[in-house]
Amino acid sequence: MKMTVEEIAVRLGASFDGNPSAVVERVAGIRDAEAGEISFVANPKYAHAASETRATAVIVEPSWAHPCPASLIRAANPEQAFSRVAEWFAPPPVTFEPGIHPSAVVAPDAIIGSGSYIGPHVVIESGASIGARCVLVAGCYIGHGASAGDDCRFYPNVTIREHCRIGSRVILHNGVVIGSDGFGYAQEGAARRKIPQIGIVVIGDDVEIGANTTVDRARFGRTRIGNGVKIDNLVQIAHNVTIGDNAVIVAQVGIAGSSSIGARTILAGQVGVAGHLTICDDVIVGAQSGVSKDIENRGMYLGSPALPFDKATKLIAHMSRMSNLKERVAGLENRLAAIEAKAAKAKS
């Protein structure tokens, strides 16, 4: 696909500076862009990169006044505008013709909705059901009695264990495991005895879960993922956890058993949440924070243990001055020791 700078600006409803006939064929990052490509800058801290770009066009905010050799397209929200442009230049999505691959193993009583694709070496066990227009690519496993709604897409090696329930329009990326046993053991002397994990996982509609993320089945009852939840790669969600609608869980987060995460809450990368805790709606927990107590008030939290943002940043600032404070105290101690020594000498 090819578009001129002027055509792109018109479709975005944006103004532009530069060559209206310059041709754009691809999208790229501001540092990597070459001739024929379009990029964007949403933050002035990347002005230096914009001044050196080889891109044909760059989308910027209306007030942009920094040097840039490319044609400029001025949009109120450069990042959002660039996302729209990226959709225009994206290659056609991979499609799959409905049907069941000859190597797939599908139980006679399993239900496959109309228009669905079942790929190579997929296994669908007895009592399982798959909705209409779903895509299950190579190596997926759907356990006994498990179900998925309409328009789902499961990428290679996704596992849905027995009796778990998946909503509609759910995307599960490579290696996702839904419904593996929770980590539950009872102490018997020096040994640990496995506690049966007899619950399930229930996932709502419009959920997306990243590669190699695991969601454990409940010890009893349900582990629940609400509607519209977005979960990144390499996340561990333990048994009986509840995640509210439209929450965002970023990479390498670990949520221990029986904790509840509120609606629209964001857990940034590598956040750890201890067990049996409640985080209310509309909370943001900063990267690498550790949540050890309930969070009852919406807002931003940071640190380990996680504290309200203002308090956490003050504490971090104080800690950064500890070495200087230590040196000052040592200097005062030395001066005091010298004064005491001088006084003792005077008395003698």
Q: What pLDDT is stored for residue 244 in this prediction? A: 98
Residue for token digits 């190596």?
139
Helix (H) or strand (E) holding 117: strand 117-118
Based on the domain organization, do 239 and 344 belong to the same domain?
A: no
Number of domains the chain is built from: 3
Q: What pLDDT is stored for residue 184 in this prediction? A: 92
Based on the domain organization, do 45 and 119 belong to the same domain?
A: no
Helix (H) or strand (E) holding 89: helix 78-89
Q: Output DSSP code: residue 220.
A: S
> What's CA 159's distance to the chain center, in Å?
20
Based on the domain organization, do 304 and 324 belong to the same domain?
A: no
Tens-digit pLDDT profile for the chain (348 aa)? Answer: 899 999 999 999 999 999 999 999 999 999 999 999 999 999 889 999 999 999 999 999 999 999 999 999 999 999 999 999 999 999 888 999 999 999 999 999 999 999 999 999 999 999 999 999 999 999 999 999 999 999 999 999 999 999 999 999 999 999 999 999 999 999 999 999 999 999 999 999 999 999 999 999 999 999 999 999 999 999 999 999 999 999 999 999 999 999 999 999 999 999 999 999 999 999 999 999 999 999 999 999 999 999 998 888 888 777 777 888 888 888 888 889 888 888 888 877
Based on the domain organization, do 144 and 39 belong to the same domain?
A: no
Based on the domain organization, do 265 and 347 belong to the same domain?
A: no
The helix/strand/coil state of 45 is helix
Domain CATH number, residue 65: 3.40.1390.10
Based on the domain organization, do 83 and 147 belong to the same domain?
A: no
Q: Which two tokens stand for residue 45?
A: 């801290």
Based on the domain organization, do 306 and 324 belong to the same domain?
A: no
Tell me which of 48, 173, 239, 318 is the catalytic residue.
239
Based on the domain organization, do 82 and 130 belong to the same domain?
A: no
CA distance 92 to 89: 9
The helix/strand/coil state of 185 is strand
Encoded amino acid at 267, one letter = L
Q: Does a structural domain hold residue 258? A: yes
Based on the domain organization, do 204 and 325 belong to the same domain?
A: no
Q: Which two tokens stand for residue 260?
A: 């509840």
- What percent of the residues of the chain are helix, what percent strand, and what percent coil, each to the nearest 5? 20, 30, 50
Range of the structural domain that residue 327 is part of: 311-348
Domain CATH number, residue 135: 2.160.10.10
Q: What pLDDT is stored for residue 62 in this prediction? A: 96
Q: Does a structural domain hold residue 227? A: yes
**CB proximity list for 236: less than 8 A, separation 6 or greater:** 213, 214, 253, 254, 255
**318 carries an active-site annotation:** no
Q: Does a structural domain hold residue 94? A: no
Strand 242-243 vs strand 260-261: parallel, antiparallel, or unpaired?
parallel
Based on the domain organization, do 233 and 322 belong to the same domain?
A: no
The helix/strand/coil state of 347 is helix
Based on the domain organization, do 47 and 128 belong to the same domain?
A: no
In 10 A of CB 198, how many CB atoms?
A: 13
Q: Does a structural domain hold residue 249? A: yes
The total number of residues written for the chain in this structure: 348
Based on the domain organization, do 258 and 185 belong to the same domain?
A: yes
29, 54, 89 — which closes off a domain? 89
Q: CA torsion, points 275, 259, 250, 272, in degrees to nearest 10?
A: -20
Encoded amino acid at 335, one letter = R
Residue by residue, DSSP assigns 308-330 as EHHHHHHHHHHHHTHHHHHHHHH
The model's pTM: 0.84
